[in-house]
Amino acid sequence: MVFSQTKKCVPCLVVLLLSSGMTTSFAEEQTASRPMPPAGSPLSWEQAIRTAIEKQPLIKIAEHEVLESQALVRQIESANYPQVTGIVSSSAGNTRVLANLGISGSLPKPTNYLTTPGIRADYLITDFGQTAHRILSQKSLAASAEKAALTAKALTILSVEQAYLNCLKQKRLEDISREVLNERELIRQQTEVFYRRQLRSKLDLDFASVEANRAEVVLIKAQNNLVLAFAALNTAMGLQGPGTYLLEQGVLSVTPSASPESLVQEALNQRPELLGSKDRIQAAEEALQAAKALRFGSVTALGTLAYTWWGHEERPSGKEVSNPGAKMGWYGLGATSAVPLYTGGRIEGQIEEADARKGETQATTRSIANDIVLQVAQAYLSRLTAEQQIKVSEEKVAHAREALTLARERYKASLGSILDVTTATTDLLSAEVGLADAQYDYRASEAALAYATGVEYARY
C-alpha cells in the first residue's frame, strides 16, 4: 500500500514543482499570451511542430535579429541621400553665426546680436565606394541573419520531434512497466494460492511479493519520466508547464534511404547555417573593400538657406547709432574634399582587420561544412543501426514471450521454480524495452537525418 500511495502523489509532486515557478507576473503574462492546450487533449505530430514555430522564443529572437539587420541596411543607405537639418542659431558678444549655420568667434569687439533660423543640407557626392561596399556588406549580413532564422527554425523542429518521440517512448515504457506489474501481481496471487494450499513455500511468496514491489517502483519511475518528457515537449514548443497530451502513435515504416554521398551533397546545398556562413564571407569581402576605399577620402556638398536679423543697436560713442539693425535672407553653397594623407596606420589597421575577419569567416565556413558532413554520417549510421536492431529485438521479444509462457506453465505444473518465472518476466521486460528503444531510435534517427540534410524545415 505504501508503493500505491507513492505512485499517486509523486507525479503530482513533479507537476507542482514544475509549475511552482509560474507565479511571477512575467510567467502569468507569458501564459496568457501563449495559452496551453487543455490537459489530455490530442496533439498531433504536425500540430506540435507548427505550435513550436509560432510560439518558440528562439525563433522570435532570430526573426527580430533579421529585422535589426535590415534596419541597419537602411541606416547605411541613408548616406546616399541629402541630410536636411533645420537649425536655429543665435549669437551675442564676440561670436557670430557662420554661413553653415554654425557658431564661431572670437572677434576683437562685440558684434550684433544675431538670430538665424535656417535649413542646412549635406550631401555626400562620393566616398569612392566606401558606402556602397558597406551597404553590400550589411545586406549580406542581413541575408545571413535570415539563414540564422531558418537555422533556429530547423533546430526547433528537431527538438520538438525528439521531445515528441521521447514522450511516445516514455509512454510505451510506462505501458510495459504496467504490464510487467500486472504480470508479477498475477504471479504473486498464484503463489499465494499455492502457499495456502501448502503447494509452495513461504519463500516463494516472499520472493514474488518483492518482485511485484520492484515492478511497482519501476512503474512509478516510468510515470515520472513521462511527466518530465511532456514538460520537455512543452518547452520545445515554447509553452510553459507540464501539461500532458494524447499523442498520435504513427506507423513505423522502415524505408530504404538514399546513398550517403547524395545525402551529404544535399546537406551542403541546403543547410541554412552553411548558406548563412557563405553570406558572411561575402559580407567580409565587401567590408574589406570598404576599408580599402578609406584611402581615397570623400567629397561632400553643403547648402544653406536662412534668414538673419539683428536687433541690437551699436552706439560706439554712446550716443549716435552706427548700426540700427537689419533683416536679411540669404543662401550659401559649398563643397569639401577630404583626403587622408597620414593617419598613423589607422586605415591600414582597418584593412588588416577586415582581411583577417574574412579569413576567419572562411575557416568557420569550412568547419561548419565538416560538421554537417559528420552529422549526416552519424544520422545515417544511427538509422541503419536502429533498423537492424528492430529486427533483432522483434525476434528477442518473441522468444521472451514464449519463454515466459513456458516458465509459467512449468511453475503451475510444479516442474519449475518461481525464480524461472521471474527471470522470464525480467527477460521479457528487457526485450520489450529494447524493442521500444530500437523503434524510437529509428524514428529519432530519421528526424536527425532530415535535419542534417536540411530538408525538414522547408516543409513548414
**Residues 323-363 pLDDT 10s:** 556 778 889 999 999 999 999 999 999 999 999 999 999 99
- Please report the pLDDT score of residue 103 as a whole number: 83
Residue 207 pLDDT > 90, yes or no?
Answer: no
Question: Model-level pTM?
Answer: 0.80
Please report whether residue 327 resides in a domain: no
Please report whether residue 61 resides in a domain: no
Average pLDDT of span 406-420: 79
- Please report the pLDDT score of residue 333 as a whole number: 92
Nearest alpha-carbon partner for 10 in 245, 174, 217, 246: 217
Q: What are phi and psi of 109, to 5 degrees?
A: -140, 160
Q: Which residue has the cell 544675431?
A: 114
Indicate the pLDDT class of residue 233, thresholds 50, 70 and 90: very high
- Tell me what percent of the residues of the chain surpass a pLDDT of 90: 53
Report in angstroms the alpha-carbon separations of 305 from 62, 84, 98, 332: 45, 11, 12, 7
Q: What are phi and psi of 167, to 5 degrees?
A: -65, -45
What CATH code is carried by the domain that includes residue 152?
Answer: 1.20.1600.10
Residues 155-205 have pLDDT tens digits of: 999 999 999 999 999 998 899 889 888 888 888 888 888 788 777 777 878
Would you call 44 exposed, middle or buried from its count of C-beta atoms within 10 A (0-12, 13-18, 19+)? middle
Please report whether residue 77 resides in a domain: no
- Please report the pLDDT score of residue 308 as a whole number: 86
Please report whether residue 283 resides in a domain: yes
Number of structural domains found in the chain: 1
Residue 5 pLDDT > 60, yes or no?
Answer: no
Please report whether residue 154 resides in a domain: yes
Please report whether residue 267 resides in a domain: yes
Q: What angle do CA 204, 207, 211 make, to 5 degrees?
A: 135
Please report whether residue 104 resides in a domain: no
Beta-strand relationship, 95-97 and 103-105 = antiparallel
Indicate the pLDDT class of residue 432, thresholds 50, 70 and 90: confident
Please report whether residue 398 resides in a domain: yes
Give residues with Cβ within 8 angstroms of 21, minimum separation 6.
27
Q: Quick count: other Cβ atoms within 10 Å of Cβ 453?
A: 24
Indicate the pLDDT class of residue 95, thresholds 50, 70 and 90: confident
Would you state the cell numbers that stand for residue 398, as one nine-digit string? 518473441
* Residue 343 lies in domain: 2-15+36-55+127-297+339-459
Residue 28 pLDDT > 50, yes or no?
Answer: no
